């Protein structure tokens, strides 16, 4: 096994990890602010992928360009879902809230998955652009343009979110709500509005990840669960207190999977994350990278 092969796999692990990271940050944002576990997050990602596919297949719009439509569309979907469904869950508190949100979003995931099946059937779809196969080569490593764009978009999305949360009044209001919603309400922040906005953002991030996934893999309506699990794995590894911190952990997971695929074999790639996840859940609940 040459060092180039290892490096190649590592780089691809990074590309994949950036998608894990974006998906995880979306879920983590919702969990951190609303204290709600949305296991339909993967389905939102899947819908993002299908919107991209549809815009590409029917209107011939480049998948990266169509994000200008996909992302707002998913944001809107998130807002609607918060308004009609999750609003009833956020009224609860503590453990009951998390547990009920898990159940409700489970039901939602079934609905979303099957609505997509009704619209698109269960066949595999993929987005192959004219430049899909091309790329650069550097130091003997192949860097496809699509993958590079994915990494760039992921980074831009995360950095934008970071800037939004750190520099704008609304972003700070969101962070404040995550820390202590009562104190935030006492400062004049409308908690319902924060929840609505945050859920929309979470869905938008899922949409971004979905677009990236549709370009990298073929998609089917059933990919939701696997991606929700991956996002959960990343969140648990990062420690549930971190929102943006989930992104580097996503990269870590991508690289860890790639390394295991390189040295143990590709078959058990998905298993690596799950095993680490179970280990962390049981033995180190604050996450691999969380503060105690």
Partner 1 sequence: MSQAFEQVAPPVTATRSGGWLRPALVVVLAALLVLVPQLVKQGDVLNLCFLVLLYISLGQSWNILAGFAGQTSLGHAAFFGIGALTTRTLWTNGGPFIPALFLGALAATVFALIIGAPTFRLRGAYFAIGTLGMAEALRITISQTSPLVSTLPIDQIAGYDLAARYYLALALALATVGVAALLLRSRLSLGMLAVREDEEAAQATGVNPLKHKLIAFTISSFFAGLAGGVFAFYHVSYYPEAAFSPHWTFDAVLISFVGGLGTIGGPVIGAIFYVLVRDRLAVTLVDIHQIIFGILFIIVVLVFPGGLVEAWERLRKAGRFSRRGR
Partner 2 sequence: MLEVRELAAAYGDLRVLWDISLEVHTGEIVVLIGPNGSGKTTFLRTVAGLHRPLSGDIRLEQTPIHTLPAHQIVERGIILVPEGRRLFGGMSVLENLELGAFTARARVKRHEMLKRVLDLFPILSERLHQRAATLSGGQQQMVAIGRALMGLPRLLMLDEPSLGLAPLVVQNIFEVVRDIGREGVTVLLVEQNARVALQLADRAYIVEQGRIVDQGTGAHLLADQHVRRAYLGYAPRAGTTTDRSASLRE
Q: Given the rule CB under 8 A, which residues bind partner 1?
A: 37, 39, 85, 88-89, 92-93, 95-104, 106-111, 113-115, 117-118, 225, 229, 232-233, 236, 267-268, 270-271, 274-275, 277-278, 281-282, 285
| Residue 124 in the binding site for partner 2 (CB under 8 A) | no
Looking at residue 60, what DSSP letter applies? -
Beta strands in 58-160 (DSSP E): 135-138, 141-144
Rounded to a whole number of angstroms, the minimum distance from the CB of residue 283 to partner 1 is 9
CB–CB of 36/86 below 8 Å? yes
Per partner kind, with CB cut-offs from 5 to 8 A, the member of partner 1, partner 2, none near residue 119 is none
**How many residues make up the chain in this entry?**
292
Residues in region 184-223 near partner 2 by CB under 8 A: 184-192
Rounded to a whole number of angstroms, the minimum distance from the CB of residue 180 to partner 2 is 6
Per partner kind, with CB cut-offs from 5 to 8 A, the member of partner 1, partner 2, none near residue 270 is partner 1
Rounded to a whole number of angstroms, the minimum distance from the CB of residue 284 to partner 1 is 12
Could you tell me the two tokens for 9?
């796999």
Nearest 5°: CA angle at 164, between 162 and 167? 95
| Residue 57 in the binding site for partner 2 (CB under 8 A) | no
Looking at residue 7, what DSSP letter applies? H
Closest to 202 measured CA to CA, from 36, 68, 51: 36
Q: Find the Cα–Cα–Cα–Cα dihedral 124, 130, 133, 137, rounded to 10°.
A: -150
Binding residues vs partner 2 (CB under 8 A):
169, 172-173, 175-176, 179-180, 182-192
């Amino acid at each position: 096994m040459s060092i180039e092969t290892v490096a190649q796999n590592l780089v691809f692990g990074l590309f994949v990890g950036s998608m894990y990271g974006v998906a995880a940050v979306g879920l983590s944002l919702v969990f951190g602010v609303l204290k709600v576990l949305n296991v339909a997050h993967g389905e939102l990602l899947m819908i993002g992928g299908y919107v991209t596919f549809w815009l590409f297949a029917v209107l011939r719009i480049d998948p990266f360009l169509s994000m200008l439509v996909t992302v707002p569309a998913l944001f809107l979907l998130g807002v609607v879902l918060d308004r009609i469904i999750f609003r009833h869950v956020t009224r609860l508190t503590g453990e009951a809230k998390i547990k009920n949100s898990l159940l409700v979003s489970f039901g939602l995931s079934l609905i979303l998955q099957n609505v997509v099946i009704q619209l698109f059937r269960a066949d595999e779809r993929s987005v192959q652009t004219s430049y899909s196969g091309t790329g650069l080569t550097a130091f003997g490593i192949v860097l496809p343009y699509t993958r590079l764009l994915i990494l760039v978009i992921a980074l831009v999305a995360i950095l934008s979110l970071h800037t939004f949360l750190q520099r704008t009044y609304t972003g700070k209001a969101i962070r404040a709500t995550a820390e202590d919603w009562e104190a935030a309400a006492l400062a004049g922040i409308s908690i319902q509005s924060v929840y609505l906005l945050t859920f929309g953002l979470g869905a938008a991030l899922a949409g971004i990840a979905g677009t990236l996934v549709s370009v990298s893999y073929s998609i089917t309506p059933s990919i939701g669960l696997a991606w929700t699990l991956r996002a959960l794995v990343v969140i648990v590894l990062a420690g549930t207190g971190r929102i943006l911190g989930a992104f580097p952990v996503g990269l870590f997971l991508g690289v860890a999977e790639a390394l295991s695929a390189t040295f143990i074999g590709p078959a058990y790639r998905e298993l690596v994350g799950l095993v680490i996840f179970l280990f962390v859940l049981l033995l180190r609940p604050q996450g691999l990278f969380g503060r105690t």
